[in-house]
Amino acid sequence: MRVRIAAVVVTFNRIDLLKSCIDSLQNQSRKLDEIIIVNNSSTDGTFEWLNEQRDLTVITQSNSGSAGGQYTGIKSAYEKGYDWIWSLDTDVIPEKNALEMFLASDAIKDKSVGFLSSIIYTPDNSLSYINIPYLEDGSSIINSVNKLNDLIILSASFGSVLFSRNAVKEVGYPIPDFFIWGDDVEYTFRMREKGFMGYLISKSKATHFEKNNFQNPFLEMNYSDNKAFYAVRNTIYILKLRGTILYKSKIRGISSSFRFYFSTLSGRLKRKNLNFTSLIKFSRYFLLGLVYNPRKYLKHEAN
């Protein structure tokens, strides 16, 4: 029986990139059954252009960030009964055979698979640092490469990730309260916690059209920007969660959070871009991350 697959793309004021992303999805070597676009109330003509399209499913909602958009899109695809749900960012353009390579991988034959991620590059063929997943220990990496030519991973980004229906059924949907940054990591971590496997598929490739490709964006970002609040708070939560998953130790997760805090301050001091205002804001976001408990918002709605 042919598996049914829907793509979910979340967009906000990126009409040109959205058009390119949709074009790449419509021309995949393995045809999609549906393309779902979640428009977070764009104001750049996206709404009008989408209304002219006849082969897309369009959901327009208030701007709820990547997290809220993926929540809506994945929920919609799941409720329609799709076997696999392919989540993407607007500014990530998959290669023509990206979906075909997912389905041709050995990893997809793993009955416990929860998610498969593409390898994502920048336009100059460098790795897109923001899309690099968390990996397991060294022996798992070596074993997965030897057996599958694909990597076992702990997390994936919404850049280009294929979710199994079974995993969504078990864990539910992304948490909208994350808004942006780390929402994808938390979601895939949740799948790993429930015993589902994740793999980085070496032959499924995509390009991320991001202006900046910093290895450590926390050394460069403006902490007065609202995005920085979500970035720091959510990252601290993710580090705590990673410690629990990898080492079964909340203490390891908290210690990782403090290492992140002090290494970021040290790095910014060396770059001479840490002033008093930045220090106060970064410290505040860090403390909020230590006590942040997004799963209190979690409603298990998939069934």
Domain ranges of the chain: 5-213, 217-296
pTM of this structure? 0.94
**Helix residue ranges per DSSP H, the chain:** 15-26, 46-51, 65-79, 98-104, 138-148, 165-171, 183-193, 226-247, 250-271, 276-291
- Provide the b/e sequence for 135-163 (b: ≥16 CB within 10 Å): ebeeeeeeebeeebebbbbbbbbbbbbbb
Range of lowest pLDDT (74-83, 92-101, 248-257, 281-290): 248-257
pLDDT of residue 136 exceeding 90, the answer is no
- Please write the tens of the pLDDT for every residue from 167-181: 999 999 999 999 999
CA distance 154 to 273: 33
Q: Residue 288 corresponds to which amino acid?
A: L
Residue 210: what pLDDT?
A: 83
What pLDDT, on a 0 to 100 scale, did the predictor assign at position 193?
93
Say yes or no to pLDDT of 249 above 90.
Answer: no
Residue 123 backbone zone (phi > 0: left; psi -120 to 50: alpha; other: beta): alpha
Closest CA to 189 of 133, 268, 127: 133
**Is 135's pLDDT higher than 90?**
no
**pLDDT per position as a tens digit, 3-12:** 999 999 999 9
Q: What is the pLDDT of residue 303?
A: 67
Nearest-5° angle of CA 106, CA 155, CA 232? 165
Class level of CATH domain 5-213: alpha beta
